[in-house]
Structure 1
């Protein structure tokens, strides 16, 4: 029983540490804030191509998180990067990768595409 409690405490501490570290480089912003800034930034949808094809934020480029390492050359370091996925999990992973590669201004849409109420483009 002691080992189970110790394991849970370790998992919680690691999770809190990762969350706090991620907050230092990834800014989660509201839809209003996202709309105000994404036209001056690189807007990237990190979902898979079929999800993107079914609908995406108008003006977004599709660079799936599964392809991001291979496609980093497409993302400039000197401009803010606005990320979104369906709910936020994949954009967090993409942000972690970008941060490790030296990107500074990284933002993600709070709630992801499923919470987006702005203009949407369907089809490729």
Structure 2
């Protein structure tokens, strides 16, 4: 499973790029703030929402600490998706939130 640090994601965003970020935390957790532009798909719904994802795109997976997003990454990877887990999750995030 590929990994990316929170700092690397911040750098991508600060360069004006808009990566595809999926936040797998529960809706109540996301209400406290998420990475700008991130789409919230709770981990329990990933299986049902994967038809909405594009296998030609790269997705950065995010959660609170990196564990749930790691599980989501492994799951999606097993179905042929190009995913990267943000290690440390939102606990490591120091950038802006929305």
On whether the aligned pair clears a TM of 0.5, the verdict is yes
Q: What's the C-alpha RMSD, in Å, of the aligned pairs?
A: 1.4
Confirm or deny that 1:59 pairs with 2:34. Answer: no
Which 4+ stretches in 1 moved above 2 angstroms?
Answer: 35-41
Query: Could you tell me which of 49, 74, 81 is aligned with 1:71?
Result: 49
Aligned-partner SS, 1:120? coil
Q: Tell me the TM-score normalized by structure 1.
A: 0.70
Confirm or deny that 1:87 pairs with 2:65. Answer: yes
Change (3 A) 1:49 1:97: same
Change (3 A) 1:98 1:37: farther
Q: Measure how far apart 1:41 and its partner are.
A: 2.9
**Higher share of residues assigned helix:** 1
Q: How far apart are the structure 2 equivalents of 1:80 and 1:40?
A: 11
How many residues matched? 95
The answer for unaligned runs of 5 or more in structure 2 is none
The answer for unaligned runs of 5 or more in structure 1 is 1-25
Q: Measure how far apart 1:40 and its partner are.
A: 4.2
Confirm or deny that 1:116 pairs with 2:93. Answer: yes
Work out which structure has the larger RCO, using CA pairs closer than 8 Å and 6 or more positions apart in sequence. Answer: 2
In 2, are the aligned partners of 1:91 and 1:108 still within 8 Å (CA)?
yes
